[in-house]
Amino acid sequence: MHTRTKLELSDFGRKLGGPTGIGELMHDLGAALAINPQLLMMGGGNPARIPAMEAVWRQRMSDLLAQGDAFERMLAHYDQPCGSPDFIAALVQCLNRRFGWHLTARNVCVTNGSQNSFFYLFNLLAGRTGARHRKILLPLSPEYIGYAEQGLADDLFVSCRPLIEDQDARTFKYRIDFDALPLGEDLAAICVSRPTNPTGNVLTDAEMRHLSALAKERGLFFLVDGAYGAPFPDIIFSDVEPFWDEHIILTLSLSKLGLPGTRNGIVIAREDVIETLGAINAVVSLANGNLGQALVAPLLRNGELLRLGREVIRPFYEQRARQAMGWLHEALDGRVDYRLHAAEGALFLWLWLPGLQGTSQELYRRLKERNLLAVSGHHFFYGLHDPDWRHQHECLRLTYSQPEPIVRAGIQILADELAGR
């Protein structure tokens, strides 16, 4: 008699294989794209299809196909564990030329996407280290949903409530409460996304240097997630200056350039960190995807990528953000109490609904029944250990990167649901 083998999950399997906020988000995204095209996808971080950028990628692919056997070599060979030497050389040259840094090829490692980068980084820096349990400090909460379940050890993150600054009657902004930061002896690193996913908050240069100084004086690493930010794709609606030092680990991505399918993340760090990441790459994935690196390398070498970010990508998203905010104000004003976080970058609007009946997760489910997908804000407040703070159950993340008819229709469904229609 055949007996079916029981799936008895290890601690690792239970940790990563169970229900998670990022898992729910990616399942919804896949459903919207493949299973139920009636779903209006305003929850994910998929970048917009920008015609001018798509023309660039089409031309770059044509260039590859025309360069002898360049296309075949790209497909047929594993690159080194840290990435394509040609891509890394082009990136180093670009950043040193633009910012006056002194990087070498030994300061760069390519991974299979930023999500992959942070899984490696969080677990090589924090968690169980001998007799110690070290943690990652998130100085600004809410923070990216995709970090939340990445720690192989439990209780990997610690954070604190932000300050809430009123900008006008309908606009607010989270600020770091530097006086309340839990700067304990158990920290391994400080981590921020800039611009912040989910709120679109952009930490100022002064705030970044303050955090960097706090990390350096305590012997901590400072992790800066630049997936949406500077120097590319530059979805920041103000001028900021990225900086780098030996205790800083800067991560970048090709996804928000319009290349999410290529799965290429970039880590810029000191040499021993990069060496360790390369070793992990070799064990976990052998090598990284070649296509994105091959497409982008010449645009880094001639500086064109930075121009495209500044002149094409950033203006596109800034116009979309202003447009979506206008539609939200038009739909919600006078019907419900609401506030919007200042839209300073990234692809999202962060909606606060003071006094919301029920929770944002319940609202998410009701909206899903009406074929609108948003993301409940409670997923982004991990590390707080502050269950009585009602604010974390009153927020939604909405993306405005989808085509205009989808965004406008989704906002109307949201307004009708909140108004009880």
Rounded-to-integer distance, Cα 363 and Cα 374, Å: 9
> pLDDT value at position 358?
95
Residue 32 has pLDDT above 60, yes or no: no
Q: Are strands 163-168 and 171-175 parallel, antiparallel or unpaired?
A: antiparallel
- Domain 20-49+312-418: give its CATH code: 3.90.1150.10
Rounded-to-integer distance, Cα 59 and Cα 295, Å: 9
Nearby residues of 274 by Cβ (< 8 Å), 6 or more positions away: 82, 106, 107, 108, 109, 267
Q: Where are the domains of the chain?
A: 20-49+312-418, 55-307
Instruction: Name the token pair of 39.
Output: 């779903």
Contact 99, 252 (CB under 8 A): no
Largest distance between two CA atoms of the chain: 71
Helix, strand, coil distribution of the chain in percent, nearest 5: 45, 15, 40
Mean pLDDT of 349-375: 96
pLDDT tens figures, 270-305:
999 999 999 999 999 999 999 999 999 999 999 999
Architecture of domain 55-307: 3-Layer(aba) Sandwich (3.40)
Please report which confidence band the pLDDT of residue 17 belongs to, taking 50, 70 and 90 as the band edges. Answer: confident
Residue 338 has pLDDT above 90, yes or no: yes
> pLDDT value at position 30?
64
Which helix (H) or strand (E) covers residue 166, if one does? strand 163-168
Residues in the chain: 421
Q: Are strands 265-268 and 339-341 parallel, antiparallel or unpaired?
A: unpaired
Which helix (H) or strand (E) covers residue 39, if one does? none
Nearest to 111 by CA among 252, 232, 300: 252
Lowest mean pLDDT among 10-14, 212-216, 318-322, 334-338: 10-14
pLDDT tens figures, 141-186:
999 999 999 999 999 999 999 999 999 999 999 999 999 999 999 9
Count of CB atoms situated within 10 Å of the CB of 327: 18
Residue 100 has pLDDT above 60, yes or no: yes
Global pTM reads: 0.94
DSSP line for 122-150: HHHHSEEETTEEEEEEESSSS--GGGTT-
Mean pLDDT of 16-35: 66
Please report which confidence band the pLDDT of residue 33 belongs to, taking 50, 70 and 90 as the band edges. Answer: low
Contact 266, 91 (CB under 8 A): yes
- Report the b/e string of 239-254 with b at 16+ CB within 10 A: ebebebeebbbbbbbb
Contact 109, 277 (CB under 8 A): yes
| Cis previous bond, 298, omega within 30 | no
The DSSP secondary-structure symbol of 83 reads B
Rounded-to-integer distance, Cα 70 and Cα 291, Å: 11
Contact 331, 411 (CB under 8 A): yes
Phi, psi of 11 (to 5 degrees): -60, -40
In Å, what is the CA distance from 125 to each residue of 265, 273, 369?
Answer: 18, 10, 41
pLDDT tens figures, 209-234:
999 999 999 999 999 999 999 999 99
Q: Tell me the β-bridge partners of 190.
A: 137, 222
